[in-house]
Amino acid sequence: MATVISIGTSVPQYKHLQEDILHFMQEIFNVDDDEKRKLRYLYHQSAINTRHSVLPDFGQLKEQREYMVAPFPSLDRRMDVYDKEALPLSLGAIKDCLGDKINPANITHLITVSCTGMSAPGLDLQIAEALQLAPTVFRTSINFMGCYAAIHGLKLAKLIMNGDAKAKVLIVCTELCTIHFQEDYTADSVSSSLLFSDGCAAALVTNGEEGKGFELLAFNSEIDSKGKGDMSWKLSSKGFLMSLSSYVPDIIKADISGLVQRALLPNNLTITDIAHWCIHPGGRKILEAVEQSLSIHKPQLQDSYGVLGKYGNMSSPTILFVMKEMLAKANAGEHLFGCAFGPGLTMETLTARFATNRN
């Protein structure tokens, strides 16, 4: 059975306090004291302490900055940064994931995931070359699906494993969200600058012969069309533009209970059977909406809150950061339920079971 046997993570070297990013954005947005107080309140309510970026600018004085200076960078320049920084960040997560578990030459399938940069030839070929993967390696790229894309990648890995039990699938989710921050003072720009950060996660999926890992049991995806305008990600000459309305937590709160029940039904599971709630920490209000709708307690989402506090929302890698925490402490037979949200409004889920020493 398709099993996640290892997850590796990496973040850029520049670690910024949420307070420093607040001061940076107050200056960039060029707002008056009343608006500065509003921003301060939002940042202090975010449940985020630190975030990482490939850019040093957020913690530097104006005269020391190299990137986020007037005029703000064009899409071309943002993509130049992505092309330079995405590969080393990805290789850090891959190294953490593979360790001595597998020789890269034995990887049969490579799935790359990103919504913050793309080119052809792209990151998939850069990784294949850097790892010296076989020239016959199966490559595919998942682009522009947003925060739920890692679950989609795991779903694809399971489909691959169903057709080839000997497959060794490497999934690499790499996002550089901070290179797309905007200077226009809009609700969307405020939300993006408040939440998003940079990071990478890699997951290795095999048929579980190692005897330990999360067996991928089932996936479910639903689109809530009434929220299609509340979360979006568009290209522009100024960079990628995020739209994230304040109504998203309300939509999730109204719909997630039914979604979870429908997703668990094929495996004859209920909410009480879930030991590990692997919820994408898209923001504090989203996690609170999940708690309220499912009638679960905050400690049951401690790993999601922990990742949010240390890293912010890194888009697609974030849920794998949460799953990594759970992979380290799960007991045999325990079930995991994962859920992430993205443009559409799409809600993507997975159900998994931790297995050890199956042989």
Strand 212-223 with 198-206, pairing: unpaired
- Name the nearest CA neighbour of 333 among 356, 317, 359: 356
Q: 220: helix, coil or strand?
A: strand
The mean per-residue pLDDT over the stretch 112-141 comes to 95
Cis previous bond, 281, omega within 30: no
pLDDT digits 0-9 by tens, 286-324: 999 999 999 999 999 999 999 999 999 999 999 999 999
Question: Is the fold of 3-206 the same as that of 212-356?
Answer: yes
User: Once rounded to an integer, what is the mean pLDDT over residues 218-237?
Assistant: 79
Q: Is the peptide bond before 71 cis (omega within 30 degrees of 0)?
A: yes
Residue 275 has pLDDT above 70, yes or no: yes
CATH of domain 212-356: 3.40.47.10
pLDDT mean across residues, the chain: 93
Write the CA distances from 254 to 224, 249, 250, 293, integer angstroms: 11, 9, 6, 7
**Tens digit of pLDDT for each residue in 27-83?**
999 999 999 999 999 999 999 999 999 999 998 988 899 899 888 999 999 999 999
pLDDT reading at 91 higher than 60:
yes
CA distance 230 to 342: 10
Question: What is the pLDDT averaged over residues 187-209?
Answer: 93
pLDDT score of 16 more than 60 = yes
Q: Residue 192 corresponds to which tokens in the numbers above?
A: 């993006």
For the chain, the domains span 3-206, 212-356
Residue that wins the pLDDT comparison between 309 and 120? 309
Task: With a cut of 50, say whether residue 190 has pLDDT above it.
Answer: yes
pLDDT at 107 over 60: yes
CATH match of 3-206 with 3.40.50.10540:
no
More confident residue, 198 or 188: 198
Residue 235 has pLDDT above 70, yes or no: yes
Is a pLDDT exceeding 90 seen at residue 116? yes
pLDDT in tens, 153-184: 999 999 999 999 999 999 999 999 999 999 99
In the chain, what is the straight-line distance between the N-terminal and C-terminal CA atoms, in Å? 13
Predicted local confidence at residue 241, as pLDDT = 82
- What's the pLDDT at 359? 45
180 and 146 Cβ atoms separated by less than 8 Å: no
pLDDT bucket at 228, cuts 50 / 70 / 90 = low
Q: What is the structure's pLDDT at 202?
A: 98
Exposure b/e, 100-119, CB count within 10 A at least 16 = b: eebebeebbbbbbbbbbbbe
Considering only residues 205 and 61, tell me which one the structure prediction assigns the higher pLDDT: 205
Cα–Cα distance for residue pair 352/357, rounded to 1 Å: 16
Q: Are 169 and 108 in contact (CB under 8 A)?
A: yes
pLDDT for position 224: 78
- Identify the pLDDT of residue 86: 98
Neighbours of 332 (CB within 10 A): 12
pLDDT-derived band of residue 357, with 50, 70 and 90 as boundaries?
A: low
d(CA 114, CA 315) in angstroms, rounded, equals: 9
pLDDT of res. 168:
97
Q: What is the pLDDT of residue 248?
A: 83
Q: Parallel, antiparallel, or unpaired: how do β-strands 346-356 and 212-223 relate?
A: antiparallel
pLDDT at 251: 83
pLDDT value at residue 229 = 66
Task: Assess whether pLDDT exceeds 80 at residue 195.
Answer: yes
pLDDT for res 212: 87
With a CB cutoff of 8 Å and minimum separation 6, the contacts of 227 are: 247, 248, 251, 344, 345
